[in-house]
Amino acid sequence: MSLQQWESLGTYLNWLFGNMFGEAQPHMHFWMLSIIICVSAFGVVTVRNLIHAAMLMSLTFVGVAGIFILLNAEFLAAVQVFIYAGAIVVLVIFAIMLSENITGKKMVVHNRQSLAAMTVSIVMALTMIGILLYDLDGYFEGPWRWWVTPDRNPFPPEDNSVMIGNSLFSTYTLAFWIASIILMIAMIGSLIIARADSDDHETHTERLIPNGEESAKE
């Protein structure tokens, strides 16, 4: 390839990956979040232990919440963390534990990883404390700039949740109502589906009958 072709290839790669190979790296946050999301999502679909898969899924959802913050959708990021990383992962773990022979072996509850867990949580605490102190003092200046600075204004002038609330309760009110009805139907339906079978129900009611009546019936 000639020099001109190499230059055009470099221009194309810079366009494709957003100046990833340039000197200034403006999209570091996006790339870190992308790597976290893709690696953990690949773990979700390949890991054998389903509990590990659920934990990796939680990590994926937190990464997607970071992507939402990069896109100036703070309310959606909070909703993502609450609903996905909180509720749905807990629901999945409950379902895994309710059907316990999924992995073919009994669930291991005891803890052999307390040292690793302690290391991870201590490093996490030091990192968060460091970032907090750093931002309070230096306001995104200094050697950690590439780490803490988002690529947009960290405090946007208009409030994202106010915007979403206005439009959700004016333009999209009908969709809001329909979504609430769908949620109620799904709640009732899942309760009915996941209830015990009719056999279990009968044995349960028989157990409730006092002994005298049961013997009289027999």
Partner 1 sequence: MSYIDTPVPIHLYIGLGTVLFCIGLFGVLARRNAIAILMALELMFNACNIVLVAFCQRHGITFTLQAFSRAQDIESPVGQIFAIFVITIAAAEAAVGLALAIAAYRHFKSINMDDINLLKW
Residues 126-185 that bind partner 1 (CB under 8 A): 149-153, 158, 160, 163-164, 166-168, 170-172, 175, 179, 182-183, 185
* Residue 149 three-state SS: coil
Q: Counting contacts by CB under 8 A, is residue 68 touching partner 1?
A: yes
Residue 17, phi then psi, degrees to nearest 5: -105, 15
| Residues in region 92-111 near partner 1 by CB under 8 A | 92, 94-96, 98-99, 102
- Choosing from 9, 83, 124, 131, the residue that interacts with partner 1 (CB under 8 A) is 83
User: In angstroms, how far apart are the furthest CA atoms of the chain?
Assistant: 99
Least Cβ distance, residue 207 to partner 1 (angstroms):
19
Alpha-carbon gap, residue 167 to 158, rounded angstroms: 14
Least Cβ distance, residue 125 to partner 1 (angstroms):
27
Evaluate whether 59 touches 40 at the Cβ level (below 8 Å).
yes
Alpha-carbon gap, residue 53 to 24, rounded angstroms: 36
Least Cβ distance, residue 21 to partner 1 (angstroms):
14
Q: Interacting stretch for partner 1, rule CB under 8 A, among 78-86, 106-114, 118-126, 208-216?
A: 78-86
Q: Counting contacts by CB under 8 A, is residue 36 touching partner 1?
A: no
- Choosing from 10, 26, 138, 142, the residue that interacts with partner 1 (CB under 8 A) is 26
Tokens 């690696």 belong to residue: 39
- Choosing from 3, 116, 191, 208, the residue that interacts with partner 1 (CB under 8 A) is 191
Alpha-carbon gap, residue 218 to 209, rounded angstroms: 12
Q: Which positions ≥6 away from 100 have C-beta within 8 Å?
A: 106, 107
Q: Interacting stretch for partner 1, rule CB under 8 A, among 5-13, 22-30, 110-118, 123-131?
A: 22-30
Q: Interacting stretch for partner 1, rule CB under 8 A, among 56-64, 109-117, 119-127, 130-138?
A: 56-64
**What is the number of H-type helices and E-type strands within the chain?**
11, 0
